[in-house]
Amino acid sequence: MSLKNVRLEVMQFLEKDVDSLIEKYLIPIDKIWQPTDFLPNSEGHTFFEDVKEIRELSKELPYDFWVVLVGDMITEEALPTYESWLMDVEGVDQVDGQNGWSKWIRHWTAEENRHGDVLNKYLYLSGRVNMREIEITTQHLIADGFDIGTNRDPYKNFVYTSFQELATYISHNRVAKIATKSGNKQLGKMCKIISGDEMRHHHAYSEFVDRIFKVDPSQMMMAFHYMMKQKITMPAHFLRESGDKISTAFEEFSNTAQRIGVYTSRDYVDILQKLIVRWEIDKITGLTDEAEKARDYLMKLPERMLRLADRMKIPENSFQFKWVEPAVIK
């Protein structure tokens, strides 16, 4: 049987448990938070005073913070790309209304959709950003799509989402801490609750991988090895500003995130180590010779990558993005 057919068979075998996994990791729509829970009530008598407070508090946060918050929001807003990509994975059938995997993706997308919504509205009210430039970048990112190197392989895609959801948790959680420390408790609370969603999603995708390891350990190991050898590509790697070529803004955005400690090269290594521990890579049995070599590579990789991370130099000066107006403190 071909590898493609084996993967399809495994996806069909695991599909029977998707409903229980939705119940375990996702929150019912009527019980979960919504964006307006964290924003001024436009029907309320204090709406304008609440907006004024947001604008005043926003003056206290530094330029690089706003660059990172904008980049995080744009990444969240490119959700149509991620949903369409996952809907094309082997074993996912959005035409068949009974397919469990397409149901998972729809429900996951519905939760994720709230993140970009609330951040977008907050940024608009803050008075610190150029929303039109942000909207242009967002439209470019969706139009440009992305290529994360997984093809339609469910094993590789689940490795990617396990990694990426944890990376997103780290980013939103760190932004929350910076906002709270500056006195902007509402923004801190908003980013904190977003990070909680991302952590739940990380645990879900990690469990998908864990279950695959139990039924197809060698090929799951090879997929993990493949993804880490080629390196995990960030979902916003095609980021660009108006008038610029594809991907020209991502490096400076990444530098900004590293400079303020929101997401660093050491975090990348830490996530890899956490996945190795989570999936008990050192304890998996029944591997082929090729998969054993892949395991050896993975077990040694964090130490090698940490040495490289420690040698990385991050530019000290901020890059002037079109998204964010320079700080004017009055």
Phi, psi for 109 (deg, rounded to 5):
-60, -40
Task: Please count the other Cβ atoms lying within 10 Å of the Cβ belonging to residue 318.
Answer: 17
Please give the span between the terminal C-alpha atoms of the chain, in angstroms, as a whole number.
69
Distance, CA of 126 to CA of 54 (rounded, Å):
6
Tokens of 314: 């991050």
Contacts of 230 (CB under 8 A, 6+ apart): 149
Catalogue the active-site residues: 33, 76, 112, 115, 165, 168, 197-198, 201
Half-sphere exposure of residue 120, counting CA atoms within 13 Å on the CB side?
A: 17
Dihedral over Cα of 89, 95, 99, 102: its sign:
positive
* 3-class secondary-structure state, position 324: strand
- The DSSP call for residue 95 is S
Q: C-alpha angle 212/172/22, rounded to 5°?
A: 35
Tracing tokens 């008990």 back to the chain, one arrives at: 280
Q: What's the burial of 71, exposed, middle or buried (CB within 10 Å: 0-12/13-18/19+)? A: buried
Tracing tokens 């004024």 back to the chain, one arrives at: 52
Q: Which residues of 269-302 are buried (b: 16+ CB within 10 A; e: fewer)?
A: bbbbebbbebbebeebeebeeebeebbeebeebb
Q: C-alpha angle 191/196/197, rounded to 5°?
A: 100
Contact in structure between 182 and 61 (CB atoms under 8 Å) = yes
